[in-house]
Amino acid sequence: MSENAPIDIEVILSPTSKINQVDFESITFGSTFSDHMLQCDFRNGSWEKPIIKPYEPFLIDPSAKVFHYGQAIFEGLKAYRDAHDKLWLFRPDQNYDRFNKSAIRMAMPEVPREIFLDGLKELLKIDQQWAKGGVGNSLYIRPFMIAIGSGVIAAPSTQYRFMILLSPARSYYSGTVKVIVSEYYSRAANGGIGAAKAAANYGAQFYPTKLANEKGYQQIIWTDDATHGFMEESGTMNVFFRVNDTLLTAPATERILDGVTRKSIIQLATDNGMKIEVRPVAVAEIIEAAKTGELKEIFGAGTAAVINPIVGFGYRDDYYELPEQADSFALKLKSQIIDIQYKNAEDPYNWTVEVPLT
């Protein structure tokens, strides 16, 4: 396929819709899916014709390499319906570019733009009724790719399946979030796959997160693998620290995911005149700032929650509660991003992309 060719896609519509069976007011994040899905296979060195078809299970060989060697990557983005009933994506080009960076790192084929982006728009047009209006409502989009080639020899697959699923969503997190700073477990290491959205990155987090949950914490602030002396990410999100009126966040390295929301926050904070430093953030300086009262806020940033304030953190045998801020940077920045996503404010950055619905 050429980069600029119109997409040639087969569409098989579901004879019935399950949308009327869904309670959109009480949806659990990521558990309900729309009527259709996009699928496109890579075989014999090239991508086949993509197809949009009813959401359904599919058969796969037990020796498929995704099961044995973990060749699996994914992305996460959302579609938002504005007050004029139009549907918008937020910086989808960034997700497309990052998806293919992940593919390269995992020795998987890059997905052509027309399959990823044009195919997504076509899928959204078909299942547009699953995107409900109102701030807080969205349609979560999960593109992913797995190795479907059979055989247990330790080598990259020659066959892959790219898919896109749609899942109606409301606010991802509720309640307060407390985190514990890791002194042993790390999310990723230099030379590893931390900068890729590889499934293995997330599966490896489950056990240490379970241990944190047992101590009364919802998430972990991951530290660097070499010294555990630097803050890196919080759970599955990038993390920001406000010390006095300066925002601190770690640079995107081979250990840290280059988050789309993270980049948007950095841009907005800069344009708001907030002082922001993108640099290694030492555990010791955050502990000291917490003791002196200079640590004002900590918040996670990611697609699902946009910005998730953290009310306190544990480190070793101590717990540090953060004071409520009348001038919360987290809430201000979250409001600005959401206003752009739902087209309730100007978008001077051209971050939003309209989905043609007719």
Compute the distance between CA of residue 275 and CA of residue 265 in angstroms, rounded to an integer. Answer: 12
164/185 same-domain check: no
Buried b (16+ CB within 10 A) or exposed e, 187-218: bbeeebbbbbbbbbbeeebeebbeebeeeebb
Domain stop point among 169, 197, 231: 169
Residue 353 lies in a domain: no
Residue 346 lies in a domain: no
Residue 162 pLDDT class (50, 70, 90 cuts)? very high
| CATH at residue 245 | 3.20.10.10
* pLDDT at site 251: 96
| CATH at residue 117 | 3.30.470.10
163/238 same-domain check: no
pTM above 0.85, yes or no: yes
159/216 same-domain check: no
158/297 same-domain check: no
Helices 329-341 and 260-271: crossing angle, nearest 10°?
Answer: 110
Q: What mean pLDDT is predicted for residues 212-226?
A: 96
| Residue 235 φ/ψ region, left for φ over 0, alpha for ψ in the -120 to 50 degree band, beta for the rest | left
In one letter, which amino acid is 214? Answer: E
Residue 266: partners with Cβ closer than 8 Å, 6 or more residues away: 249, 276, 278
152/291 same-domain check: no
**pLDDT digit string, tens, across residues 22-60:** 999 999 999 999 999 999 999 999 999 999 999 999 999
335/190 same-domain check: yes
92/198 same-domain check: no
81/183 same-domain check: no
Residue 204 lies in a domain: yes
Q: Which domain holds residue 96?
A: 10-169
* pLDDT at site 172: 66
Residue 299 lies in a domain: yes
Task: Specify the number of domains making up the chain.
Answer: 2
Q: Which H or E run contains 251?
A: none
- CA-atom Rg of the chain in angstroms: 21
Compute the distance between CA of residue 2 and CA of residue 8 in angstroms, rounded to an integer. Answer: 11
Sign of CA dihedral 209, 214, 215, 217: positive
Residue 230 lies in a domain: yes
321/194 same-domain check: yes
Compute the distance between CA of residue 35 and CA of residue 55 in angstroms, rounded to an integer. Answer: 5
Residue 1 pLDDT class (50, 70, 90 cuts)? very low
* pLDDT at site 6: 62
165/184 same-domain check: no
Residue 347 lies in a domain: no
185/159 same-domain check: no
Residue 288 lies in a domain: yes
Residue 171 pLDDT class (50, 70, 90 cuts)? confident
201/157 same-domain check: no
What tokens appear for 203 in the block?
A: 């599966």
Above 60 in pLDDT, residue 5?
no
Task: Please state, rounded to an integer, the average pLDDT across all residues of the chain.
Answer: 95
Long-range CB pairs of 15-19, under 8 A, 24+ apart, other chains included = 17/129, 19/129, 19/130
Residue 202 lies in a domain: yes
C-alpha 244, offset from chain centre:
29
